[in-house]
Every structure is written in C-alpha cells, then in structure tokens.
Chains A and B, each alone.
Chain A
Amino acid sequence: MADEKNKEWPSFYPDELNLPPEGTSPTDGGLYRFVERTPPEKACFKSSHEQSPLRHRRCFTREARESVYGTSFWETKTAALNKLNAFPEALGDKILAYGMLDDSMGVMKHTLEPEHITVWFRISAKPHLNFNEVK
C-alpha cells in the first residue's frame, strides 16, 4: 500500500506531514494560476518546494508547510489580479493562466486565505496541457 502511494505522489513529501493532507477533495473545475511562460509548460505547475527546496524553513504554520509542497491556484480572476496589483514587483513578470482540472490529476483544498486553493498533483498529472493565458 505504501509503495503504491509512493508511486502516485512525489517522493519529496516529508514523512512527518503525511501529504496530501486531510480534508482534500479530488481536483475539479476551473482555476487561475500565475505561470512563467505561454503556452504554459509543466515546470510552471511545480510545487513551491520544487521551485525553492528550502522554502519550508520560512513557513510559520503547519498549513503553510503543507501548502509549500503543493501548487497555488486562485478561484477567481479578481483574486489573482488583486495579488498582481498588490505585488507588481514580486509577480510582475508572471502571466495569468486559466484551465480546467480533473480528478485524475490530484487533490485540492482551500488553504491560507480566501479564494486560494492548493493542489497536490500526482506524478502523472499534466495540468499544463489544459491551461491558457488569460488576456
């Protein structure tokens, strides 16, 4: 059973967090994400941990530590654009993309703040194929 789980989910998940966490549901529906290029590539959907492997050291809550091993999305365009307006220096080069997720890709959960979703993707997931730049 443990082996099957290891094959399904990324190997970098730390044992002590038991990821994906409790309270998730299968990925489903349309979500927004900031990506690096258009059309988006698989690398654009890496978890925060894959982008900066030591970032968990700056996570101050358990929820933040769990989320750092997942990928951030926004439920609405407004929520995403609000972040872009608040942090143009930090996010200015990013491109907003929208796409549909299906239940084969992984699991998702509301985390950290309203309208923010963290997705924990299965190794096999190819979300970038479903996403396009939002004009």
Chain B
Amino acid sequence: MEDIFISHPFLGKLKFVNVYIEYEGPRVFSLESETGSSFIAYWVGDNDLNENWFLIPCSKTRVYAFEKKQIDLKKLISQQEQDNFYKVEIYFDEDRVEVIPQPSKSIFDIKLPAIGIYADEIKVFSNSLVEANLVPTHEVKISKSNQDKKSNVLLEHLANVCDSFCDLAKQYNFSRQQRGGSIQALNARYGSFAINLHAKQLESFEVLIYELTNLMHDQVDILPFLLKNDIDIKAFGNLLDSISMTSVNFEFKTLHSPDEVAIIYKHEAQRYRKTLSEMSLQYISSIRVPQANDIDKVFQVVDLTWDGELITHEVLRVDKRHVSYYKNAARNLGLLKSDGTLTSVGQKIARTKVLEQRMSITAKAFEESECGWAWINWSGVDSLKDIDPLTAAQFLEERCPSLTGTTIGRRADTLSAWYGKLIPFYIGYIAVEE
C-alpha cells in the first residue's frame, strides 16, 4: 500500500499515519514528515482536475487529543497552533502538487465542519516514523511547599509522591477494568520537577481528579465524592500522606488543556488526611473487596510467585479476566506487594505447606485487610469470628456504595465463602488477665 500522501520540495515526503474519517477514501487523517513534524489533512473538495486539501500543522499532543475525543474536528482545524496552514492542490493528470501557505484565520473563509464531529474510528495507515511515537499527554509537577526553604525536593520524596499517585491512578483504572493503562515517564522539564508522562487511559480519572481538587480548595467534605465515584480512599489517603509528609505541593494536568490544573497543596493534604485515614477504616472502595471465591487459587498465586513461575489463566484454570481478580485478592490480603512480589506474610504462606497453618495465617490476614476490618467495624464487633457472615451483602451496600446491582451479591458471596472456609482455622489474640 502506498503510504505517501504528497512529496513536496519544502514539506518533504508526508506519510499517512492514522485515518479518522473517510468519504470514498481517507478524508481526515494525520500525516508525518521525514523529520517527525505532524499535520492533519482535511479534505475541502475536488475539482475536475484536482483534489483540494487543507494541511494543518498540528502537535502530536493535539492529534492525540482528537483521537481521544477530547477535541472535535472543528476545533482541531480551526484553533491552530501556528500562524499558517497550507492549501494543497493535488492534480490528477500529472505529478503536480501546489502548496499555498495561508494565514490560519483564513480557515474561517470556508464552511467549517459541525460541532461534535470526531473520528469515526482510528485506522492505522502506517507506523509512525518517530520511534515508538510516544508523545507527552500529561504532566506531574512536584514543588516545595515552602519556597523560602533552601534545599530542593529530595529524590526519595519525589519518588514517594509519584509512587502514591501512580498507585491511585492504577487502582482507579483497575476497578473500572481499564486495560493498557500504564503511565510512562518520558522526560522532565529543565529546572523543575515537572515530569512529562504518556498515559492512554486516564480520561475519566483526570476529570474526577480536577473535580476532587476543586472540592478540596472549597474545603468541603470529599468523602461522598470519593464514595460515589469509587475512588479508593486508602490510595487517595496515601497520596495525601506522601504530599503532607514530604512537604510538597502536587500538580497534575493534561497537556491538551494545560490551563486546567489539579493542584493539591500541602496544607490541604494535611487537613484531609486524618479524616480520610479514619474513614478508610469504615468505608472501602470496590477494589478492596475481593471477587475471587476460591481461596486455594489465592494460595496458588502465592506459590507461583514464590517459585518465580508465570501466573496464567491456564495454570489457575480460570477465565483470563479472573487472573487479575486472584492477584488482587492476594494483594488485598497483604500477601502480594503492588509490584507483584511477596510480602513477609505471603512468604510465610509460601514456606509452609501445611494447609491448616496456611488457612490460619490467611484468616488473620483477612481480618486485618481493609475489607475485613471495615466489616468488623461496621458489625460493631472485635474480631472476624464474631461477624455474622449473612450480613455481607448489607455491609457492602452500606460501606461500599460504588457497588451496585448484582455485583453486591457476587462480592458478598466471595466474602461469605472466605469466611466459611477460613473461620474454622481462625486463632484470635489471647487476652491475658492481670
């Protein structure tokens, strides 16, 4: 397939990248020059002798924003980033291409597309010339909360805040079953701790984080918002903790709308972290509620990790999507770390092959998990064994409001199944009478 749209002395060879809208062939698409400059081609009609196009110089960030439906076609071509675009006439009868620079405002001389037109679909025409084609989509900026302080932000503080933020975003996507949501660090702006990121699945997350930080600026109770939108209280609390403990301010923005910035100031983090820490013992987000009924398969995940083997759906004998459920269950029980390695409790289970001991350790781990502890608090009892397992659904309904419909029943079944299996092996702390 021919992938060169035009070849011209001052534009060079422009190759098709992605096709967005067709009409008897590609009519809106992205192009890339040999040096990596990107353009959007927009068809403005044919004459008897030639095709007419507008070629709009366009940053990759903006092309990406169009692909993600963050800006529509009208905005893409009318709100230009450079002072000029090109009118291109491609003649049918000879290899003649006329390129005529136009001032960007002259785009308004034509009938522009209607508002709300987006790519029909994204068809890859050819691989991008620029290796990996990773463009910055977001930026995280971490700065000293006290500008008079002489020392800079410490590296471990930077790492701590980034780690908490990444964990929050990942938990958010996981609870919505969003795949391919890795956040890649690309580069940093000179002279600051502003890190450019490339992330594909943060659209709904970024909308919520803007709303959430605005609520914090207004000093209102954010718990209802966190619960309604199933933002993990524990993970968000950890981000606030890291911001507060490391004395920094945290900013997050998407690069296609850089004026919209989500900021969490240190003093705000301090104000909210205590309340959230208390609330996280009572309320839980859906990601903290297990959805993996078979506790033996959780042990299998631990064993496979210990042996350095791959955890696959074939080995676990479950559907593909259930693999992540079992890994998450092991994480929620505190057996796996977020990086996939075993915790000390996980190692303890891996090293004992005696089933009774495994069950006993896991019963305690369940009691001390976010979900187990919230259930205990909600039940008004002191230990796991005092819980009424038949209350699982009611507990989830009241303390995990993001779960709805039949999901409540399914998750309640998991809790009851775990309870039934683990409680015979539960060993409580022995009270010593004085």
Name A's B-contacting residues (CB within 8 A).
Answer: 48, 51-55, 57-61, 64, 67-68, 72, 82-83, 85-92, 112-114, 116
Contacts and interface: CB of A to CB of B under 8 A. Distances in A.
Contacts of A61: 1
B48 interface: yes
Contacts of A60: 1-3, 16, 25-26
A116 B93 CA distance: 27
B111 A112 contact: no
B24 A112 contact: yes
Interface stretch (B39-47, B200-208, B364-372): B39-47
B23 interface: yes
A52 B46 contact: yes
A87 B27 contact: yes
A58 B91 CA distance: 9
B117 A85 contact: yes
Nearest to A92: B111
Interface residues of B, number: 31
Contacts of B284: none
A113 B120 contact: yes
Nearest to A56: B92
A58 B90 contact: yes
Given A55-B92, A58-B90, A89 B117 contact: no
Given A58-B51, A87-B43, A112 B22 contact: yes
B113 A86 contact: yes
B25 A64 contact: yes
A89 B110 contact: yes
B154 interface: no
21 contacts: A51-B48, A55-B46, A57-B93, A58-B90, A59-B25, A60-B3, A60-B26, A68-B24, A72-B24, A82-B117, A85-B113, A85-B117, A86-B73, A86-B117, A88-B114, A89-B44, A90-B44, A90-B46, A92-B111, A112-B24, A112-B25
Contact of A88 (B21, B46, B49, B111): B111
Contact of A89 (B16, B26, B28, B45): B45
B45 A90 contact: yes
Contacts of A57: 92-93
Nearest to B116: A85
B122 to A, nearest CB: 13
B111 to A, nearest CB: 4
Contacts of B3: 60
A86 B111 CA distance: 10
A48 B110 CA distance: 24
A52 B48 contact: yes
Give the 3 A-B CB pairs with smallest separation, nearest first: A54-B92, A90-B45, A88-B111
A122 B151 CA distance: 82
Contacts of B90: 58
B92 A88 contact: no
Contacts of A72: 24
A54 B23 CA distance: 18
Contact of A48 (B24, B45, B120): B24
B427 interface: no
A113 B23 CA distance: 8
B23 A83 contact: yes
Interface in B89-137: 90, 92-93, 110-114, 117, 120
A7 B261 CA distance: 69
A82 B119 CA distance: 11
Nearest to A48: B24
Nearest to A55: B92
Given A60-B25, A86-B28, A87-B43, A54 B93 contact: yes
A89 B51 CA distance: 13
B113 A87 contact: yes
A48 B22 CA distance: 15
Given A58-B90, A90-B23, 8 more contacts: A48-B24, A60-B2, A86-B73, A90-B27, A90-B43, A90-B52, A112-B24, A113-B22
Interface in B1-30: 1-3, 16, 21-28
Contacts of B27: 86-87, 90
